Structure 1
Amino acid sequence: MDSTQRDRNTELTLPAETPNIGVSENPFDASSAIEQHILIGLEKIGLALKSQSWQDAGQQGLTPTQGQILALLIDKGDAGMRLSEVAKHLAVTAATASDAVTSLVEKGLVQKTRSPQDRRAIAITLTTQGQQTATQTASWSDFLLNTVNELSEEEQVIFLRGLIKMIRKLQQQGQISVARMCVTCQFFQPNRYPRSDRPHHCALVNAPFGDRHLRLNCAEHVAADPEIAKQNWNFYLSK
């Protein structure tokens, strides 16, 4: 290869110089803030979830709301849930929840019984057939697993921490029901082992765990005293 050819190849592989554009002239500076980009991304994921839930629900002869109710009742056993609790957890009106439950009763998937905790109250529980259908509805969002696996382990941990912060804020604003998260549980002891990859401690099972193990919906969750929960949250964020 002669020197002329080598020079030409070198020119082709050299990185282009950054254009000499003034800060005020850079078009990216005039674009929307990163918060808007994140919001658009979340909206797209939400649309994907909504579309998939309608598709899966239709195949099972359900509506998405009916499927969500079945999924809510999976781990409730004989205790079930009151109608007001269902409406609160799904952030829907009592009338919407009532219509969905009535339809599920007609389909033989749920039943209304006297609450074991309060015989004056009505509890909504799954039938045997409903338990089987609920297991199927709980997997509606599994199609997203492949996309989550596109993230590295470190990215997944960061993403989970971000989700927890967002969900907690939405809960404080009363825009979603209170999730049974580790960070709001009385058994949560944040950063008890600061120099470990499992810095937190769960007093319920007496074991350490890391950020990657933080739960958003734990069946054993017991809400901490508000003041203690606030202190734990601040300590969790401090590390």
Structure 2
Amino acid sequence: MERTVDIILAFSNALWRLLAEASKKHGLSPLQGQIALYLAKRGEASVTQIARELAVSISTASESLKSMIKLGYVEVARGRDKRVKVVRLTEAGRRAAEEISSIYDALSVVVSRLNYAERALLHMLYAKIVGELIDKGLIETPRACVGCQFLDKAGELYICRLAERPLGRATAPR
């Protein structure tokens, strides 16, 4: 069991280091790198939405975004609802997000070598482990599952559509 935990931790640390290194090349923290990746996928979002999805406080998200604005990676705009301000990537921000996301290319190559059954098993096991950690309150749903195609928001709940299980409430962090 200890060896399995060590492997999971080593994998997690390696991915975090890759994100940190790729983000640092653009003068960004790992959290700001995550924000850039999130905005690249979503297009635009409010500070509250970013905070909720990345499981950080609104003030943490806001401070990160202020730095990103100063660096020229993010701009403030009016959302569809003209009363709400949103942020979106500038052209420089899109280029940075594209370069940061390239850290996952090597991982994609390795995962593509797994057959369908191996990928499905890996995803099911990951969903089970993450679900248990969420149930115990050790991690928050959005940050663990950001970008996952199987994450669905149903009303006030996040649901993993692969594991077919609720993962937690969709509430903004404090």
Q: Under a length normalisation based on structure 1, what TM-score does the superposition of the two structures give?
A: 0.55
Q: Which residue of 1 aligns with 2:104?
A: 141
Q: Percent identity?
A: 24
- When residues 225 and 104 of structure 1 are mapped into structure 2, their CA distance, relative to the original with a 3 A threshold, is closer
1:191-202 correspondence runs (5 A)? none
Higher strand share: 2
1:223 aligns with 2:164: no
In structure 2, distance between residues paired with 1:60 and 1:75:
18
- When residues 65 and 233 of structure 1 are mapped into structure 2, their CA distance, relative to the original with a 3 A threshold, is closer
Contact 1:115–1:121 at 8 Å: present in 2 too? yes
Contact 1:171–1:178 at 8 Å: present in 2 too? no
In the alignment, structure 2 segments of 5+ residues that lack a partner are: 166-174
Q: Which has the higher contact order (CA 8 A, sep 6+)?
A: 2
Contact 2:22–2:99 at 8 Å: present in 1 too? no
* Alignment RMSD (CA, Å): 3.3
1:105-124 correspondence runs (5 A)? 105-117=69-81, 119-124=82-87
- When residues 225 and 125 of structure 1 are mapped into structure 2, their CA distance, relative to the original with a 3 A threshold, is closer
1:57 aligns with 2:23: yes
In the alignment, structure 1 segments of 5+ residues that lack a partner are: 1-33, 182-214, 235-239
Q: Which residue of 2 aligns with 1:99?
A: 63
- When residues 81 and 47 of structure 1 are mapped into structure 2, their CA distance, relative to the original with a 3 A threshold, is same
In structure 1, distance between residues paired with 2:33 and 2:156:
33
Q: What is the aligned counterpart of 1:86 among 22, 46, 50?
A: 50
Between stretches 168-177 and 90-99, larger displacement belongs to 168-177
In structure 1, distance between residues paired with 2:42 and 2:164:
28
Q: CA deviation at 1:112?
A: 1.4
Q: Which residue of 2 aligns with 1:233?
A: 164
Q: CA deviation at 1:168?
A: 3.6
Contact 1:109–1:127 at 8 Å: present in 2 too? yes
- When residues 225 and 47 of structure 1 are mapped into structure 2, their CA distance, relative to the original with a 3 A threshold, is closer
Q: What is the aligned counterpart of 2:8 among 14, 34, 42?
A: 42
- When residues 53 and 222 of structure 1 are mapped into structure 2, their CA distance, relative to the original with a 3 A threshold, is closer
Q: CA deviation at 1:70?
A: 0.7
- When residues 81 and 170 of structure 1 are mapped into structure 2, their CA distance, relative to the original with a 3 A threshold, is farther
